Structure 1
Amino acid sequence: MSSAAITILAFLLFTFLYILFNLVSHTITHKKPPGPPTLPIIGNLHILGKLPHRTLQSLSKKYGPIMSLQLGQVPAIIISSSKAAESFLKTHDIVFASRPKIQGSELMSYGSKGLAFSAYGGYWRSIRKLCTMELLSASKVEMFGPIRKEELCVLVKSLEKAGLVGEVVNVSEALGNLIEDIVYKMILGRSKCEQFELKRLVKKGMTLIGSFNLADYVPWLGAFDLQVCMY
């Protein structure tokens, strides 16, 4: 039997087991806020459309300021009023402090061990303290002062030179390059090089983290890597 046939059979088996599990679990009542009806496997993903924020705003008019959605296998509570948001983000903020685990952060952040993606708790407080002491303390900021001054002087001279010849300068791009040069010297102790393009890597990482990934909502599909297969 070919690998493609085995993959299809495994997918159908998982689908059948998932539907069976849903049928059994629905016999147990769960107290949830009101929300639209769901479909097997994908839940409410099909109703979000290309403009999810408008869809959610429209649904909130029908189901109220606190409603529930099923994004694949991930249950979600949607808040659309300032009073309810204050309860979630201020009164009970610690309960909702952790970010949801996604496949991108698991792969790119050593199992979500980075400061941005680790769960709130003792480990997160430890790495935040380490980051503050080693990178953001007054002594560390002062230590990197000469680097910032040197790179800023280079930028000012380049702007002055461009002004003398009447050259148009993209200030946003110039400031971006300034920050990139400072980061290179702070982290690597040298100017940027072609072998290691920090800005390109950061942009690519942000794009990958922010892209829709089916496995984040239906985790058991991650083993099949369907989106890579489609491309």
Structure 2
Amino acid sequence: MAMVLFLNIFLLALFLLFFLLKHRIINNGKYCNLPLLPPGPAGLPFIGHLHLQMFDNSDGPHIFLWKLSQKYGSLMSLRFGFKPTLVVSSAKMAEKVMKTHDLDFCSRPNLRGTRKLSYEALDLAFSPYTDYWKEMRKICVVHLFSRVHKYRSIREDEVARLVEKIGRLSICSKPVNLSEAMMCLTSSIICRVGFGKRYDEEGAERSRFHGMLKESEAMFTGFSFADFFPFMGWVDRFTGFLNRLEKTFKEHDAFYQELVDEHLDPIGENQIKRT
């Protein structure tokens, strides 16, 4: 009962603060100091457009945003909690964002899930555009991307496996989920190139690997209060998000360590000596 009363008082104070600030800005005529944002639907105090994302996107977020763009234009502004967001929905506008103004938009959002699973954004995918990212990119270009032609046999083998699998299913008149098949193809190629092994066969290793992929995807897209309301990050502990994220991180870290150990000791010499 005390917790409910505290939350009610807390929310009421936030609403009063919002309206007082808005009233002060209007009276002082300071709208000229505010950034000029593209058009967008009216948001609610405090939560912004989170209610639209949660309740009005039954067709999927991409369809939901496309429908909004038909009304508000190819460049639309939304606000999810305290996070302002630009929605681009045309090729012309995407070119301006990704080419003309690429330096302003090249960094990925700093989300709690991706930051934790990428070791505080130390990898190439989630690191912000800094000198560190440039150095990481140089290393990848020299030691990884320049050797793509060496992995041609792996790509050809995996494509042949996929074609053979689709052929068997078609003979038996069974449906084929091409989206899932292409995801498995990509995953198998990456695993063979990066790890030196496949995780497509049945067994405990396959179940473990695909389970980690699903869990990491859930953490990347899961709702975290810290991402939208930075001062309410402590709520993630009560919702179970932090515990789940920490468990997923430890599973990934153990998996990476096993791969490193296997590459350092490929034939298990240390294990033979111990026995």
Same fold per superposition (TM over 0.5): yes
- Percent of aligned pairs sharing the same letter: 30
Answer whether contact 1:89 1:96 (CA < 8 A) is retained. Answer: yes
CA spacing shift, 1:180–1:12, aligned 2, 3 Å: same
| Candidates 21, 46, 68, aligned match of 1:41 | 46
Q: Which residue of 1 aligns with 2:227?
A: 216
CA distance in 2, matches of 1:145, 1:74: 43
Q: How many residues align?
A: 219
Q: Does the alignment pair 1:73 with 2:73? A: no
CA spacing shift, 1:171–1:37, aligned 2, 3 Å: closer
User: How far 1:108 sits from its partner (Å)?
Assistant: 0.6
CA spacing shift, 1:126–1:14, aligned 2, 3 Å: farther
Q: Does the alignment pair 1:129 with 2:141? A: no
Answer whether contact 2:69 2:76 (CA < 8 A) is retained. Answer: yes
User: How far 1:76 sits from its partner (Å)?
Assistant: 1.4
After alignment, is 212-221 or 100-109 more displaced?
212-221
* Aligned pairs for 1:49-128 within 5 A: 49-50=56-57, 51=59, 52-128=61-137
Q: Which runs of 5+ in 1 are unaligned?
A: none
* Aligned pairs for 1:165-184 within 5 A: none
For the residue of structure 2 that corresponds to 1:67, the secondary structure is: strand
User: How far 1:133 sits from its partner (Å)?
Assistant: 2.1
For the residue of structure 2 that corresponds to 1:202, the secondary structure is: helix
CA spacing shift, 1:201–1:83, aligned 2, 3 Å: same
User: How far 1:105 sits from its partner (Å)?
Assistant: 0.6
User: How far 1:178 sits from its partner (Å)?
Assistant: 7.5
Structure ranking higher in helix proportion: 2
Q: Which residue of 2 aligns with 1:22?
A: 18
Q: Which residue of 1 aligns with 2:260?
A: none
Answer whether contact 1:98 1:120 (CA < 8 A) is retained. Answer: yes
Answer whether contact 1:32 1:68 (CA < 8 A) is retained. Answer: no
For the residue of structure 1 that corresponds to 2:132, the secondary structure is: helix
| Candidates 231, 234, 240, aligned match of 1:228 | 240
Q: Which amino acid aligns with 1:95?
A: D
- TM, length-normalised to structure 2: 0.59
Answer whether contact 1:112 1:118 (CA < 8 A) is retained. Answer: yes
* Aligned pairs for 1:159-198 within 5 A: 186-188=193-195, 194=204, 197-198=208-209
- TM, length-normalised to structure 1: 0.68
Runs of 4+ in 1 over 4 A off after TM superposition: 4-8, 11-14, 166-193
CA distance in 1, matches of 2:187, 2:76: 43
Q: Which runs of 5+ in 2 are unaligned?
A: 245-275
User: How far 1:175 sits from its partner (Å)?
Assistant: 8.3
CA spacing shift, 1:174–1:93, aligned 2, 3 Å: closer
Query: CA offsets per residue over residues 30-73 of structure 1, 9 Å max, x none?
Result: 23333322222211111231244444344334434433211111
